[in-house]
Amino acid sequence: MGRLQFLPFLLVSFLLLIETNAQQEFLDCIYSHSSDINIKKHIHFPKSPTYSSLIEFGQKNPRWLNSSSAQPIFIIAPKNESEIQPIILCSQKFGLQIRVKSGGHDYEGLSFRSVTETQFVIIDLFKLDEINIDENNQTAWIQTGVTMGQLYYEIAKKSENLAFPGGLYPTVGSGGLISGGGIGTLMRKFGLSADNVLDARVMDINGKILDRESMGENMFWAIRGGGGSSFCVVLAWKIQLVHVPSKLTAFTVRRKLQGETINSLQKWQNVSHKLSQDLFMRVLIQNMGIGSKKIVQVSFQGLFLGRVSELIPLLNQTFPEFGLVQKDCFQDPVVNCTELPCINKECFEVPWINTILYFASKRTNDSIEFLVNRTVPETKNYQKATSDFVKSPLPKEVWRMIRTMFQDEERPMIILDPLGGRMDEISEFEIPFPHRKGNLFNIQYMVNWGDNSESISSKKINWLRELYEKMGQFLSNPSRSAYLNYRDLDFGTNDGEYRYSNSRVWGGKYFSGNFEGLAKVKSKVDPGNFFRFEQSIPPFSVNSRER
């Protein structure tokens, strides 16, 4: 090897040596600040066999597994809350950023990757999964590594009359779901998950553990719906459990997107938010198919806090075209598809915990052990999503546009979640989630795919962007709003490049008039903007500047 050829080799080796030494100094800092001699066992390095499995396990949307996004220099999976303090203190000392992950249902992957940072550390909270239920007071303390499925499972073991108004999917982490709001089937009766938080335990910028009293009401307000990881590391929530009947009714009515179904959708828009608080009825629109034959199917899927005998007359008053009768209930339908939809209606009267299975696309008589299963599915599902809140009913033309676009796409989905009820009774300023009275329903747009090649991914993402753009012409609120837990980095881009300085764009969509309040809280609790990531809350003083 010639001298000139040898120089680049020496330079690379020297840089790697510097990087290795810096990483070792960072680790030495963690060890020196930790009182737990076992902390080394919970730190996972890029070359260790556990590292890649943790990365893969944590990505429920694995779109970035092989992308150019920066990978963490370490993954730290603490078993005790005290292990997090050294990570916060040493990351600040060495100029490293942290990402905090509880479940991994993160639409833009911001809890386990970085678009703008080259070096960061993941704090994976999945081992912090203690649940302590006080059945007498109907409350519970849950660590933020607890999944919603684990929580539902433990509640059901205590009582069939206790529940929690959380999300629909069991593998979603409680840390992210609650700190972003928490939409679910019980929200029209009891409000969001975040509306039912009584206290919290967090670790602040100084590594101190605070509760509601010591953190103060402003910070407590911010972490319930404003995204907790912008301000601190949320360690645990104290939540209010709610009382539900011994038997609830879950049902689905399926129709093709045509003719009378469009009339039903128009009716749904006008009345779904006005129905009894005991009735939550959402709409799913998706492509279905048998062989090469495909149709666009509409599913009216509901949960009623009561018996079938009470639900039937209630539905018949507003949606007699559903034709739901008592004999449709109490049995799993026999699937014998000769035409679509395969099963046009079904209904089950079961305890609350079995409705959780139903909305997770399981059979109501399946084992509830499914709810605590954390294994990684073998089949990968890649996706892109975004959202809107709707303040006025959409015109009929929107459904025809959706049908046309869906017929050209393989695995699209739209979910419409009705608001109203208890959601109308809570002030838009009570917590940072502002989408209260005056909002009829939320729209989640999603496209899924199985081949994550760059050409396929780009095609799918562009398709969703086109759908979102076309929907804008039908909405009465031109500024449009969005749900934080359906985070979309498209809201912060200029010419395809992400800009943190566009925070007022996405901040207004997610938080409306509450964004400034969040920025002011940030200025007080984290003025140096350590807890930051793409679309984190900036300090009030740097709202208009680049990070």
**What are the tens digits of pLDDT across the range 280-317?**
999 999 998 755 667 899 999 999 999 999 999 999 99
Whether 297 and 181 map to the same domain: the answer is: no
Domain that holds residue 346: 248-350+377-486
- For residue 257, being part of any structural domain is answered with yes
Number of CB atoms found within 10 A of residue 218's CB: 13
pTM over 0.85: yes
- Whole-number Å distance between alpha carbons of 148 and 374: 11
Across 232-321, the runs of DSSP E, i.e. the strands, are 233-240, 242-243, 248-256, 279-290, 293-304
DSSP H/E element including 122: strand 120-124
Whether 532 and 401 map to the same domain: the answer is: no
- Whole-number Å distance between alpha carbons of 232 and 198: 18
- Whole-number Å distance between alpha carbons of 274 and 291: 40
Whether 324 and 427 map to the same domain: the answer is: yes
- For residue 367, being part of any structural domain is answered with no
- Whole-number Å distance between alpha carbons of 74 and 121: 5
User: Do β-strands 120-124 and 74-76 pair in parallel, antiparallel, or remain unpaired?
Assistant: parallel
Whether 148 and 238 map to the same domain: the answer is: yes
- For residue 361, being part of any structural domain is answered with no
Q: What's the pLDDT score for residue 124?
A: 93
- For residue 365, being part of any structural domain is answered with no
Whether 162 and 199 map to the same domain: the answer is: yes
Q: Which residue, among 31, 26, 81, 76, has the nearest Cα to 54 in the 3D structure?
A: 76
Active site residues: 486
Q: Where is the domain boundary, 124, 156, 187?
A: 124
Where residue 409 sits, what CATH number does that domain have? 3.40.462.20
Q: What's the pLDDT score for residue 20?
A: 65
Q: Which residue, among 374, 321, 134, 148, has the nearest Cα to 240 in the 3D structure?
A: 134
Instruction: Report the phi/psi class of residue 403: left, alpha or beta, with left for phi > 0 and alpha for psi in -120 to 50.
Output: alpha
- For residue 364, being part of any structural domain is answered with no
Would you say 513 and 468 are in contact if contact means Cβ atoms under 8 Å apart?
no
Q: Which two tokens stand for residue 112?
A: 């386990």
CA count, 13 A, side-chain hemisphere, 438: 7
Whether 339 and 297 map to the same domain: the answer is: yes
Number of domains in the chain: 4
Task: Please give the single-letter amino acid code of residue 503.
Answer: S
Whether 93 and 54 map to the same domain: the answer is: yes
Q: What's the pLDDT score for residue 178?
A: 97
What CA–CA distances, in Å, run from 315 to 280, 301, 310, 320?
Answer: 12, 12, 9, 7
- Whole-number Å distance between alpha carbons of 224 and 240: 14
Q: What's the pLDDT score for residue 14?
A: 33
Number of CB atoms found within 10 A of residue 168's CB: 19
Whether 273 and 192 map to the same domain: the answer is: no
Per-residue HEC secondary structure of 480-508 comes to CCCCHHHCCHHHHEECCEECHHHHHHHHH
- Whole-number Å distance between alpha carbons of 174 and 487: 16
Q: pLDDT in tens for each of the 547 residues of the chain? A: 454 554 444 333 333 334 567 778 888 999 888 877 778 888 988 888 888 888 877 777 778 776 666 688 899 999 999 999 999 999 999 999 999 999 888 888 888 888 777 789 999 999 999 999 999 999 999 999 999 999 999 999 999 999 999 999 999 999 999 999 999 999 999 999 999 999 999 999 999 999 999 999 999 999 999 999 999 999 999 999 999 999 999 999 999 999 999 999 999 999 999 999 999 999 999 998 755 667 899 999 999 999 999 999 999 999 999 999 888 886 665 555 556 565 688 999 999 999 999 999 999 999 999 999 877 666 778 999 999 999 999 999 999 999 999 988 989 999 999 999 999 999 999 999 999 999 999 999 999 998 888 889 999 999 999 999 999 999 987 789 999 999 999 997 765 566 666 888 899 999 999 999 999 999 999 999 999 998 999 998 644 443 3
Q: What's the pLDDT score for residue 545?
A: 42
Whether 239 and 337 map to the same domain: the answer is: no
- For residue 371, being part of any structural domain is answered with no
Task: Please give the single-letter amino acid code of residue 262.
Answer: I
User: Do β-strands 242-243 and 162-163 pair in parallel, antiparallel, or remain unpaired?
Assistant: antiparallel
Whether 104 and 166 map to the same domain: the answer is: no
Whether 318 and 384 map to the same domain: the answer is: yes
Q: Which two tokens stand for residue 9?
A: 């080799």
Whether 268 and 391 map to the same domain: the answer is: yes
Residues pairing with 99 in the sheet: 122
- For residue 359, being part of any structural domain is answered with no
Where residue 185 sits, what CATH number does that domain have? 3.30.465.10
Tell me the per-residue pLDDT of 207-220, one tens digit each, with 9 for 90 and over.
999 999 999 999 99
Q: What's the pLDDT score for residue 459?
A: 94
Q: What's the pLDDT score for residue 472?
A: 94
Q: Where is the domain boundary, 243, 271, 286?
A: 243
Q: What's the pLDDT score for residue 494?
A: 64
Where residue 27 sits, what CATH number does that domain have? 3.30.43.10
- For residue 362, being part of any structural domain is answered with no
Q: Where is the domain boundary, 180, 211, 243?
A: 243
Q: What's the pLDDT score for residue 451?
A: 86
Q: Which residue, among 539, 516, 152, has the nearest Cα to 359 in the 3D structure?
A: 152
